[in-house]
Structure 1
């Protein structure tokens, strides 16, 4: 069982079968996919310094665009702490640059959530709450968020949090996975939003 099936328990079986397959993620096997983002939107120009910093960490980035090719690679392995850890590697192929949005996730079974460390250098952390919709889609929302400085974790005040909403499904007519992601702050509005489709690929 992966961190996602363990967390969702019986709800995991309510996911669309293709999503169950995608999130089963046996140890040391990688799920690869290729797709296209119909739209990627970033936020206010005031956030440009944040985007530049985050892009160096392979987290957020400043570009927006339409019909942007992208790839996904997910792999579950045992980390140095002996925990099951899922790596997320997302690459977006803009005309002038390639941007990445990477993360590593582990399970906090006591709190019933996923711990999401964002970027290749994990300076940003977010709790993620997982649920299944009546349509069999996977819905993810954010909880507590922190800035990691050395061994210290500083909780980000609610006013400055990026509220995350993710909805991943499967379109049986088009035979594709679908993804919608929104990161929003109540003070400055949209931080990032993207929506697209993808299919499994072989590497």
Structure 2
């Protein structure tokens, strides 16, 4: 199988910084998972978001829901092929806030028309994603409009209700570690949520049996748009 970012970037994958090529060169045949940990300098959840909405997203592990600084976090990546035959990269994040741990889980899928990022245990949210290579070989992800997912029709969020995500990950030569910056913005309100900070990562042997249950959404979501 082809790693999800290599499939999305094609030949441009080789323009990523070598450390990012290593980090995202694994796939479902590699026999490894990647375990990362570091500090988030800032985590933000806009107070304009309705409390019932925030509580639901916290319960379903689909977005950061608490504002704080200097938050230790872990991020564990697992690769597998789902029941629809798609190469997947599951990302399990845990933010270790002083008031208790908060999880944000997502599943990046090499879909029929490109990358799709599903967020939450349901999954709850869908972002179509465009990958590119930025400055100094950084990985840049920019999403189309967010879609709400349910057991019924997909609900697209556009215009003043829209939300788009951007994620940038690069290599910090000075400190020998990765940097990450994730933001979800609304055209009216501005920044809805963000997290940004640094981490280090290592490969760890991993078979299909070693992948935790949380790496699979509660239901197989075939919708990609």
Smaller-chain TM-score range? over 0.9
- CA distance 1:62–1:138, change in 2 (3 Å): same
1:17-166 alignment to 2 at 5 Å?
A: 17-27=18-28, 28-109=31-112, 111=113, 113-166=114-167
- Extract unaligned runs of 5+ from structure 1: none
The Cα shift of 1:167 comes to 0.9
Distance (Å, rounded) in 1 between the aligned partners of 2:202 and 2:50: 34
Distance (Å, rounded) in 2 between the aligned partners of 1:157 and 1:200: 36
Higher mean Cα deviation, 15-24 or 180-189? 180-189
The Cα shift of 1:63 comes to 1.1
Q: 1:196 maps to what in 2?
A: 197
Question: Over residues 6-33 of structure 1, what are the superposed CA-to-partner deviations in whole Å (9 max), with x where a residue is unaligned?
Answer: 1101110000000001111232421110
Distance (Å, rounded) in 1 between the aligned partners of 2:25 and 2:152: 32
- CA distance 1:173–1:61, change in 2 (3 Å): closer
Distance (Å, rounded) in 1 between the aligned partners of 2:84 and 2:124: 18
Distance (Å, rounded) in 1 between the aligned partners of 2:34 and 2:159: 34
- Extract unaligned runs of 5+ from structure 2: 205-225
The alignment's TM-score, normalised by the length of structure 1, stands at 0.93
Aligned pair count reads 201
Q: Which runs of 4+ in 1 moved over 2 A?
A: 44-49
Distance (Å, rounded) in 1 between the aligned partners of 2:85 and 2:54: 33
Asked whether the equivalents of residues 39 and 70 of structure 2 are also in contact (C-alpha less than 8 Å), the reply is: yes
Which structure carries more strand by proportion? 1
Question: Over residues 132-176 of structure 1, what are the superposed CA-to-partner deviations in whole Å (9 max), with x where a residue is unaligned?
Answer: 014100011111321122152222223212221111000111000
Question: Over the residues paired in the alignment, what is the CA RMSD in angstroms?
Answer: 1.6
Asked whether the equivalents of residues 48 and 62 of structure 1 are also in contact (C-alpha less than 8 Å), the reply is: no
Distance (Å, rounded) in 2 between the aligned partners of 1:61 and 1:51: 9
The alignment's TM-score, normalised by the length of structure 2, stands at 0.84
